[in-house]
């Protein structure tokens, strides 16, 4: 199934001693880039958390926020590291003497310094047992959101692909007629030229010119390659339902190949019909490319 890189998920687990909330945001990015914000009490789990995220996600910029709230009751008191706070205050006072017009530091700034406020009587093992399963659950919720948006992206790409196929079929059907019209135009020009400069029309020269024009205007290979690339797009998206893999880069490459063939079709154009067909296809390709940037 096609998955989007854009999604959001949040879950919270309430416990006797407080609560843990995990928030995940994902946006499009060329690679997998992860930013984790968590309390210092949970830093020992960071490697395991990163490994779990990497096992589920392939691409995207991931923001992971973990909120830990501890109840301040008789059983679970918040400890205050008086010695560290005093040392910080003295150090800041000495720094103020060295800096002109130093910004004031209040007590809240000191309290927010790591280690000044300590959570006491909280079983670290109990936190560990909760946070990793909760992360797995949030990841599953995020994946469901990515799949839902991915389905919408896939439908749009299929729709644009079908519109491109209609344009390609029109060009393929029109080419014999367009070549015939081009031949008639050339015959008229050669007759006019013959009447002015030569009593006889050189049929061999006419055939040579027609062969040259036919070769120059031949877009059969480009049309066939356009169909092949569209088939590959559909195959890539359909295979995703069987294999859980990232396909965004492959689809982006196929967009480049489609655009290349559409440009060649325009450069070989011998009629406003094929010129307009090239423009229409490039518009459709650009619409697909914009959406593919969000596919994992």
Q: Give the pLDDT confidence of 266-290 residue by residue, as tens digits.
A: 888 888 898 999 999 999 999 999 9
Mean pLDDT across 42-61:
91
pLDDT band of residue 106 (cuts 50, 70, 90) is low
Boundaries of every domain in the chain? 7-148, 149-292
Q: What is the signed CA dihedral for 53, 54, 55, 60, rounded to 10 degrees?
A: 90
Q: At what angle do helices 220-239 and 124-197 cross, to 10 degrees?
A: 170
pLDDT band of residue 76 (cuts 50, 70, 90) is very low
3-state class of 80 per DSSP? Answer: strand
Query: Interior CA angle at 190 toward 172 and 212, to 5°?
Result: 40
Share in percent of the chain as helix, strand, coil (round to 5): 65, 15, 20
- Determine how β-strand 32-37 pairs with β-strand 60-70: parallel
Q: Give the integer Cα–Cα distance in Å for 1 and 146.
A: 10
The sign one gets for the Cα dihedral 190, 194, 200, 204 is negative
Residue ranges of the alpha helices (H) in 105-123? 107-111
Q: For residue 200, is pLDDT > 60?
A: no
pLDDT band of residue 218 (cuts 50, 70, 90) is confident
Mean pLDDT across 185-189:
74
Q: Which of 17-26, 67-76, 85-94, 252-261 has the highest mean pLDDT?
A: 252-261
3-state class of 7 per DSSP? Answer: strand
Q: Give the integer Cα–Cα distance in Å for 127 and 49.
A: 13
Q: Give the integer Cα–Cα distance in Å for 166 and 293.
A: 25
Q: Which residues contact 258 (CB under 8 A, 6 or more apart)?
A: 164, 226, 229, 230, 281, 285
Token pair for residue 147?
A: 């799949």
pLDDT of residue 18: 80
Dump pLDDT digits (tens) for 204-214. Answer: 666 666 666 66
Which backbone phi and psi does 269 adopt, to 5 degrees? Answer: -60, 135
Query: Interior CA angle at 88 toward 83 and 89, to 5°?
Result: 100
Q: Which of the 8 DSSP states describes residue 43?
A: G
Mean pLDDT across 186-206:
63
Q: Give the integer Cα–Cα distance in Å for 198 and 34.
A: 77
pLDDT band of residue 75 (cuts 50, 70, 90) is very low
The answer to whether 2 and 240 have CB atoms below 8 angstroms apart is yes
pLDDT of residue 255: 96
pLDDT of residue 240: 55
Question: In angstroms, what CA-CA distances link 249 with 30, 107, 152, 223, 256?
Answer: 8, 50, 18, 23, 11
> How much is the mean pLDDT over the chain?
82
Q: Give the integer Cα–Cα distance in Å for 255 and 286.
A: 8
Dump pLDDT digits (tens) for 5-50. Answer: 999 999 999 887 788 999 999 999 988 999 999 988 788 889 999 9
pLDDT of residue 215: 67
pLDDT band of residue 149 (cuts 50, 70, 90) is very high
Q: Which residues contact 49 (CB under 8 A, 6 or more apart)?
A: 36, 38, 64, 131, 132, 135
* Residue 12 vs residue 83, higher pLDDT: 12
Q: Give the integer Cα–Cα distance in Å for 7 and 137.
A: 15
Q: For residue 112, is pLDDT > 80?
A: no
Name the percent of the chain lying above pLDDT 90.
45
What does the radius of gyration of the chain's CA atoms come to, in whole angstroms? Answer: 33
Q: Give the integer Cα–Cα distance in Å for 270 and 98.
A: 78
Dump pLDDT digits (tens) for 157-167. Answer: 999 999 999 99
């Amino acid at each position: 199934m096609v998955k989007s890189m854009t999604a959001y998920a949040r879950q919270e687990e309430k416990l006797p001693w407080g609560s843990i909330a995990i928030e995940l945001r994902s946006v499009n990015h060329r690679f997998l880039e992860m930013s984790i914000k968590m309390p210092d009490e949970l830093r020992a789990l960071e490697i395991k958390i990163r490994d779990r995220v990497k096992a589920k996600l392939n691409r995207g910029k991931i923001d992971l926020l973990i909120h830990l709230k501890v109840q301040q009751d008789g059983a679970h008191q918040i400890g205050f590291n008086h010695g560290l706070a005093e040392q910080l205050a003295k150090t800041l006072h000495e720094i103020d003497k060295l800096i002109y017009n130093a910004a004031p530091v209040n007590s809240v700034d000191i309290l927010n310094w790591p280690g000044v406020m300590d959570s006491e009587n909280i079983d670290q093992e109990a936190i560990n047992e909760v946070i990793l399963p909760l992360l797995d659950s949030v990841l599953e919720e995020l994946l469901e959101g990515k799949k839902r948006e991915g389905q919408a992206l896939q439908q749009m790409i299929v729709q644009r692909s079908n519109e491109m196929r209609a344009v390609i079929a029109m060009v393929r059907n029109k080419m014999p007629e367009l070549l015939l019209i081009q031949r008639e135009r050339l015959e008229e020009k050669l007759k006019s030229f013959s009447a002015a400069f030569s009593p006889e029309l050189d049929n061999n020269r006419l055939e040579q010119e027609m062969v040259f024009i036919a070769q120059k205007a031949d877009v059969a290979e480009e049309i066939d390659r356009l169909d092949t690339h569209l088939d590959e797009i559909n195959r890539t998206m359909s295979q995703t339902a069987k294999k859980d893999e990232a396909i965004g880069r492959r689809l982006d490459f196929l967009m480049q190949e489609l655009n290349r063939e559409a440009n060649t079709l325009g450069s070989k154009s011998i009629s406003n019909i094929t010129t307009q067909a090239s423009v229409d296809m490039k518009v459709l390709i650009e619409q697909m490319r914009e959406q593919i940037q969000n596919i994992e």
